Each structure stands twice: as C-alpha cells, then as structure tokens.
Chain A
Amino acid sequence: MPQGMDKGIKPAVALGRTLNLANVLKMLKASIRPLGLLGPAGVWLLLLMVLPTLLITELSFVPGLRPGEAIEGYGLLNYLRILEPTYLQVLRRSATFATGTTLLCLLLGFPVAYWLALMAPKRWRNLLLVLFILPLWTSSLLRTYAWITLLRPSGVINLALGALGLPTQSLMNTHWAVYIGMTYSFLPYMVLILYASLERLDLRLLEAAADLGANPRTTFWRVTVPQTLPGIAAGCLLVFVTSLGDFVVPTLLGGPSSMTISRLIYNQFLGVARNWGFGSALSMVLILMVSLAIALLLKYGDRNPEIYS
C-alpha cells in the first residue's frame, strides 16, 4: 500500500511490512478502535457463553456426576447412554415437533408475509406488521395458558362449535395441541423474517418473467422462491432452533407422552435423577443439533450474494 495511507491500516496488511517498532505500534493503534468496540460484547460472550459451554462439555464426560461431588473420572458413558432407544425416542420427538412446527410456520407464514410485503396497502404495512408482532410482547407462558383456555373440552372453541351445531374437538393434551401452540408462538418470527426478505424482492424480475410468458405459478416457483431462499432458510432456522428447545408448550399442552429434550434435561438437573453428567451430555447433543441446523443455513442461505447489493 502507498506510504501515506496510515489511516485504518489493517493489521493483516501491516504484517507484510517490516516488523519494526513503528509498524507494530501502528498495528496496535489500529486495533484499539475495533477491539474497543468489540470488547464489551466479546467479554460478555466469553464469560457467559463460551465458558459455560466449555464447563458443560467437561461435565458431560463425567459419568454419573452428582451435584456437589468431586469429579472422579472421565468417560463416554453419558453419550453412550443417549444412544439407548428410550432417549433416542425423546430426541426424535423433539426433532419431529421442531420440524413440524417449522413447516407449519413456513406454510402459514409465507402467504401472510407475501401479502404484507407485496399486496397490502402501503399505508397499513407498518401497522399490520406491528399487530402481527404484538403477541411476542406478552409472556409465552401466558399465551400457552390462553391456548389451554381455547382448546379445553369446555373451552372457547368448543363453546363456539357447539353453538353452531358442529362437532366438538378434543385436541387438548395431544400432539396436535403442541403443534398448534408452538406454531402460534413462533409464527411472528417467521413472518417478520420472510417479510424482510420479500420486501427487497426485485419486482422487475417478476415483470420480466411475465413478459417472457410465465404464468403466475411458474413465476412464483422459479423466480420468487429462489430469490427469497435466504429469508426462508433464516426463518426456518430460527423457528427450528427455538422450537427444538421449547419447554413450555409440550409440558402444558402435550399429553402424558410429550417428553422433549428440554424437559429431559430439566429432569436430569432438577428432577429425581440429579445426574448432571448425563444432563450435560444431553445439552451438548442439543447444541450439536442446533449447530447442524446452522450449518445447513450457511450452505443454503448464501445462494445469490448479488441480491444483497
């Protein structure tokens, strides 16, 4: 780089130069601003995320660790135990709930976001968005209790159905109730992210497709969806990750067969088992599943970098 351009010199570039004192000082000086800005967040991340995760990783390799005990030996027993059918069943159930919720949110959320972004009157868009996001401002526990009031055999939905002479539903305490509760809880996230993605859709492409003879359905599948794929991936990831670890909805709305991985972890730490080693191993598996989901996002989410420009 030319001699005179010190301002904002990148440490990486400086390394290419001779390593005398002046250059090292320049390097440090240039790093101060980025470090100063990243410092608080970095420290926070380190202390509150990285260190606890490392601690849990360590504990997960201690078979049969009870709280308050000293660590006696390490082993893979906790992880091997997860491979037992009982616990694989729990993992499978959590993954099924999460996948089902994600698909439902996508199917319900995409039309809403499409309408909001492209077809709703412009004046009302922000208001409608806010109205959609409003439930997020209440506690998710309260929202789940509201669903209990709706879905109960003597609840509001059945009262309405009965008044209309229609057969009543008995969804309470079943897996369907869990899907309903979770989809309701996470739909706003999906809509918001899809809205952001659809909002920057270049409408000229749609017009061009129409000019070239595509009918609306072809345009949708071959132009709109590929363009919004990063948004879809991001929305699906967010909903998947949060519903995978959801504790409240399966516990309150699910029946006696709705043990999920978060509830299992809770039982290991605070239940009768008090096996912190096993609980830590389960937590690590949950982190692994989430990381897999993020990896998939990174693969499919960066399809067309040019649309970001």
Chain B
Amino acid sequence: MSGERGQTARIGDRALSSAFGPLTAYRLPLTAVRNLLRHRIRTALAIAGITVSTAMLLDMVLLAGGIERSFGRLLLGRGFQIRISPKGTLPFDTDATIPDATRVRRIVAADTAVVAVGPLLGTSLYLRMGDSLVTLFGYGVDPTAQANYQLESGQDLAPGDSSGVLLSRPVAERLGASAGDTVTLVSRLDPEAAVAGVERRLTVRGIVHWLYDYKGQPSVGALLPVMQDLARLRAADRVSALIVKVRRDKDADATAARLRTALPMLEVNSVAALVSRFRERLVYFRQLSYILGSISLIITVLLVSVLMTITVNERLGEIATLRAIGISRRSIVRDVMAEGTILTLVGGVLGVLLGAATARYLDRILTSFPGLPAAISFFVPESQSLALAGAVLLATGILAGVYPALVAARAAIAETLRAEAT
C-alpha cells in the first residue's frame, strides 16, 4: 500500500513537472522566497532577529580566541619564540628582575638550538625638560637581539653606542625632538636633597615604535648598560627578561624545557606557554563568549523553528492539497527546510556585516584597557573559526527547519482537507 502511495507521488511529481516545469533545485529557493514574502512583517522580524543573533555569534567567535591570537602574533612578530623572566612571573608583570644576566645569557646561548639571546630591562625614569621632569618608561636593549621596537625614523643604536637614545613618537612630539638632539635622563630622585642620583645626557639617534607600549606611552630606549646605570642595577647585572630565538619554531617547546632544567631559578616559557598563561587570565572573556554565542544560537533556532512551525500550521490546507495532487512528502519537507535555510542565510549575511561593525566598536572599548599594548586586539578574525561559526549557523538554520518540515510532511491529507472545507 505504501509502495503504491510512493509511486503515485512520483507519478504526480512527474505530471506536475511536465505541466508547470520541474521542482528542481534552482526552483526551490524561488518557491521558498515566495512563501516567505507572503508574510513580510514576520519574515522581516525573523531576519532582523537572526541578523542580531548572528552578529552576536560572530563577535563572540572573534572574542573567544581573538586576544590570544593577537598576543601570540605580537610575541612572535620578531621571531623570538622563548621568554625568560624572574621565577613565578611573566615578563614585565612585576618589578622583579633577573640577576647576573650576562652569565644567564651565556648559558642560554650555549644551547645548540638557540640562535640569538637578547636582554631587556624596563625601568621608570625621568626626562629633564626645563625646570620640570617628565615621567618616562625606559627600555635597556641590545640592538643586535631585540624584539620590542621598530625604527620609524633616524638610526638604530649601534653596538657600543653608550651616548645614544631612542625615543617613542609621543616623547619626540612632546619634546619637539628629532634625531641629533640631546636629552637628559635622570633617575633615583632624592626628595630630601632635591637632586637626582643619576643623570645622563644622551643624543637622540632615532624615533621608534615600541611594540609593547600602550597608546601614547612615553618611552625611551638605550643600550642595556646605560639603562642599568640609570636604574642602578648594573652592579648586579640585572635585567627584566631575556628573549630567545631558536633555529626552528617547532624546537621552541623542547628548547624551553632544556633551558628550564639549566636555569631552575628562572621562569622559562615558550610563546605557546605564555599564550596559555594569558588565556587563563582571560578566562572570563572566553566563557562569556561561549555563553553569549550559545544563547545567540538558541535564539536563532527558536526564531526559525517557531516561525516556520506557525507558518506551516497556517498552510496545512495548502500542503494537504499539494499532497493530494501528488507532490511527494520529500518535496514538501525540502520546501519548508529551504525556507528556514533562506531565512538563516539572509539573516546570516546581514549578521556578518552587523557583527563586523559591532566587533570594531567593542574592540575600541576593550583596547582602552589601561596599560594594554596598543598592538593588541580582542576581536581577531581567523578563517578556521569563522568557517566553523558559519557552518554551525547554517546547520542551526537547517536543524530549526526540521520540526516544522516534519509537521508539514505528517499532515493527514483527508482530515486536513475536510477540516479546511468546513
């Protein structure tokens, strides 16, 4: 009996195809669009809802791993894959320093996988400007092995150039200084005697972009020994961190493990490990993005399925008529699911546009965190996660159409037609 019904349906489809053209894949979206346009307000509202939900989903996908990707790119920007810092700290997380830096550097450089080791010291100091003092952040660097600045104009420091200094753009603009000018750096102010403990007159060699500075941060850089003198850390040969470049990226974790054994009193982390530590600190944003992303998907499913179910219920008579003249269940299911998919696709495309705009706005808010490097971004697109989000959204739209499609397919033809006739 069921075989007969199936045969009837197939014959009906063929008959309809010859009379009105085939219900082929390319006609299907048109039929679905026409059906959706029959209720313009509800379709518009559903698309608006899906658009906002998709925008939220997109933003949350970008946020979930965005800052980690951004942080990883920043750390790996100059190819140094390992960071060494005082035990129990992350680089520049506290004022703690590493003593005997030259010896540590020698031990690190002895590892066969290591191709470069750079020391880095960070300290607060002042720049004398007439009668007043400007508070600055000072970097002590080795220009032959550095990963924290890019030259914008002028010249880089030469090895052994103990009278040169590099300025950040904000400092240069504030002073009106350029390459060749001289500046006076002071430190260790004694409030009682009203004198500076250390004072150095240096010549500006160039203007640089300090990669880890926050927006507008006034920073200067000099050779490590000069900065150690200013910070009075030269006697103990202290640095804030060491950066290490290994021959191949894939050797970073193994090299870090070897260095950890060689230097048990220091913290040795590959960039991957640092990103992982960073991720722990930003667990809140990741969890928030998961929760809000899930809610967005639930809203999309509810919107599409409720809308489609009510629409299908309203059209039961029409569907029963179609079934009665021989349209197969499969065609009805396909038609209903196509409507759900089209709603999701249209809402999804608009949602991507809205999401991109809101991501930029939200990023502007979050990157105004005090002290955050200007190069860090919270919403970073990645093709893999975007593709996954798109696939999940599409699957959600299709899934949401399953229940109404089943309602349509299971409609009892005779009963429905009888009910419609009364």
A, B in one complex: no
List residues of chain A with CB under 8 Å of any chain B CB: none
